[in-house]
Structure 1
């Protein structure tokens, strides 16, 4: 599960990148100039942040199709694992599933309640959360993911709403990229802003 870089050093360890990711999650096909206007960051800084987000599989780019003269723009969208897919995120999901299968063979336990596809989704989700600086605790019976204490609750407390929205969207994207029956159902409400428990939903439970 090692990634070769310090724990917590991820594409979303910087709030500037979180802000950019939030913008492209809100609307696809963003241009650099739009993101510069919204964030007031230097264009080169925005490009560097976008490159890092693409390297971690959270953003994809495409070249604008033009029917008139002019240089085509590069358009950026957030990955969702369905309509906007990142080969990086898919590759990471497959590698996480392989490591998860190996661990389950090496350390046998009780028969898992979840099907193989769902287990592979959990494998991908846990590895992505660990890379982001979390220490996730998964309850496979209740289908919950506890992220307490939140790795970003203190350092970025004033941006809690944006952070939670971005993290939930990333989690759904990872689950979709891993291809299985699980999806994010939402975050459990809590009086403690440092507490974070995400509820998952199995397709078999949907009405």
Structure 2
């Protein structure tokens, strides 16, 4: 952030980034999208209690979904965790409520702002998607600047610029997944395509795109 404020939200610690990265990787595998506490501990080296605490915070934020394993044999079912990608199979009620509340707050602001700051020319659904995305980014410590024409969101200066350079690829991948989940949950024509970076660590721009159906 420009004012040097703390990084917050779902990517506030590297441990959460690791967990989200594992869950997003699992969501891309058709055979099994969930992971257990044990699997996450083995992959990260974190203590089970630490993993549970991080997962609980991510669940409360609407970024992770918790479910009980369906067993066909005797025994206590395991708890399974998956990334909330916003699809019908991985939709979080908390994320849906956050998207709805963001749209309501956006409508309220548009009623009191000048006409030049009215709803996006992309249409109502895209405007509501941007409402949800902007709130997510602000909660995560960014100061987003949206360009409706270029379909970009400028996040410079990135509050993660001071972190380790070797962690940036994973961080950017996770944050792109989070943004895509927010946009999908809000419902509309916009999708998050890529996070563009430069040689300067503080420079960061998200490229959005219209879905093929909408563009056609």
**How far did 1:109 drift?**
1.9
- Structure 1 residue 124 corresponds to structure 2 residue 132: yes
TM-score (normalised: structure 1): 0.92
Deviates more, 1:181-190 or 1:77-86: 181-190
Mean CA deviation greater in 180-189 or 11-20: 180-189
CA–CA distance in 1 between the matches of 2:166 and 2:196? 20
- The alpha carbon displacement at 1:34 in A equals 0.3
TM superposition shift of 1:26 = 0.5
Cα distance, 1:189–1:17 mapped onto 2, change above 3 Å: closer
Match of 1:149 among 157, 162, 165: 157
Provide structure 2 residue ranges, at least 5 long, that are not aligned to the other structure. Answer: 27-32
Conserved? CA contact 2:7–2:160, under 8 Å: no
- Distance in 2, matches of 1:84 and 1:35, equals 19
Deviation at 1:205, TM superposition (A): 6.2
Task: Indicate if the aligned counterparts of 2:189 and 2:214 stay in contact, CA closer than 8 A.
Answer: no
Equivalent in the alignment of 1:182: 190
* Structure 2 counterpart of 1:33, from 22, 30, 38: 38
Residue 145 of structure 2 is aligned to residue 137 of structure 1: yes
**Aligned partners of 1:149 and 1:195 also within 8 Å:** yes
Contact 2:8 2:141 in 1 (8 A): yes
Distance 2:172 2:80 in 1: 25
How many residue pairs align between the two structures? 202
Structure 2 SS opposite 1:11 = helix
**Structure 1: segments with no counterpart, 5+ residues:** 1-5
2:54 is matched with which residue?
A: 49
Q: Paired residue for 2:108, among 97, 102, 108?
A: 102
C-alpha deviation, 1:206, in angstroms: 4.1
1:189, CA displacement in angstroms? Answer: 4.8
1:190, distance to aligned residue in structure 2 (A): 2.4
Contact kept? 2:156, 2:204, Cα under 8 Å:
yes
Bigger drift between 102-111 and 75-84 goes to: 102-111
Which deviations, in whole Å up to 9, do the C-alpha atoms of 1:119-143 show, x marking residues without a partner? 0000000000000001111111111
Tell whether the 8 Å contact from 1:7 to 1:131 is kept in structure 2 after alignment: no
**Preserved contact between residue 15 and residue 156 of structure 1 (Cα < 8 Å):** no
Q: Is the 8 A contact 1:7 1:132 kept in 2?
A: no
Partner Cα distance (1:7, 1:95) in 2: 24
Please list the CA deviations of residues 36-95 of structure 1 after superposition, one character each: whole Å capped at 9, or x if unmatched.
101111111100110011011110011000011111011100011013000111111000
Specify the SS of the correspondent of 2:200: coil
2:10 and 2:147 map into 1 onto residues whose CA distance is: 26
Q: Which residue of 2 aligns with 1:3?
A: none
